[in-house]
Amino acid sequence: AVLWKRAAPLGPMPNEDIDVRNLDTLEKYRSFTPYFRLAEKENRKPHWWKTYYQHTNPPPEPQTDISLPHKKVSRAKEIRERKAILRENRRNTEMERAARLRTVLIPLEDVRAEWERTSGPFHKQRVAERCGVFRDLFKGATFTPWVALRVQYSQENEHIVPVYYGNMVTPSEASSPPAVSYEADKGSLWTLLLTNPDGHLRDADSEYLHWLV
């Protein structure tokens, strides 16, 4: 047998101020809009109890950011640059005509370069968090990949095997040294290493360092 005693609530219970014996006297919402506004206002207030979402989604534990230093760009400056590009595009009659006739060609290389410069690092970080990479390999630490690495393995038939975010590269394809490229300031010094954090055969807390340059 299990003895259980109900404790007194730590504060007012939801809707305890409503007289349920006379519901006809309550104010009617008459539409969804006023109810939604009141619900949003009540949701922003602090409460002593936990909702179902708070029970099933506890706040994440604080993580240590081990990212490389990154210069933050002013949000106002970004908005000004985007508005300038929009104004220039609106004044471009040839672009407007091509867009209307559906013959405009989008420079995908420029789009990818802009993505890697702005949203790409955050997208890659979220993918790694979703797949549990930081949780399983870095013991709670996280980082934002500010530097975009382009890794390619050359093959005998003059083809290349690129390394993406999760694709499979076989040992035979990775038998030769890869070609690694990245953008860096002139005269800066960098260290490149190829490691396997979760591939040690004997010690789970150790890793194999394949090469270091």
Residue 22: band (very low, low, confident or very high) from pLDDT cuts 50, 70, 90: confident
Query: Domain count of the chain?
Result: 2
User: Token pair 């104004």 is at which residue?
Assistant: 87
Domain boundary among 54, 71, 101: 54
| Of the listed ranges 5-9, 101-105, 184-188, the one predicted with least confidence | 5-9
How far is 79 from 76, CA to CA, in rounded Å? 5
Whether the pLDDT of residue 3 is over 70: the answer is no
pLDDT of residue 189: 92
The boundaries of the domain holding residue 157 are 147-212
Q: Is residue 140 part of a domain?
A: no
User: Token pair 């890659």 is at which residue?
Assistant: 124
How far is 135 from 63, CA to CA, in rounded Å? 10
Q: Is residue 122 part of a domain?
A: no
Read off the pLDDT of residues 104-163 as tens digits, 9 standing for 90 and up: 899 999 999 999 988 999 999 999 998 888 888 888 799 999 999 999 999 888 889 999
Q: Is residue 184 part of a domain?
A: yes
Q: Is residue 182 part of a domain?
A: yes
Q: Is residue 13 part of a domain?
A: no
Mean pLDDT estimate for the chain = 87
Whether the pLDDT of residue 88 is over 90: the answer is yes
Measured over the CA atoms of residue 35, residue 38, residue 41 and residue 44, the dihedral's sign is negative
pLDDT of residue 139: 81
Q: Is residue 98 part of a domain?
A: no
pLDDT of residue 87: 94
Report whether 208 contacts 196 (CB < 8 A): yes
Read off the pLDDT of residues 24-62 as tens digits, 9 standing for 90 and up: 887 888 888 988 998 899 888 888 888 888 888 888 788
Q: Is residue 61 part of a domain?
A: no
As a whole number, mean pLDDT of residues 6-18 equals 80
pLDDT of residue 65: 92
User: Token pair 């040992």 is at which residue?
Assistant: 171
DSSP state of 80: H
Whether the pLDDT of residue 1 is over 60: the answer is no
As a whole number, mean pLDDT of residues 92-115 equals 92
Whether the pLDDT of residue 2 is over 60: the answer is no
Q: Is residue 188 part of a domain?
A: yes
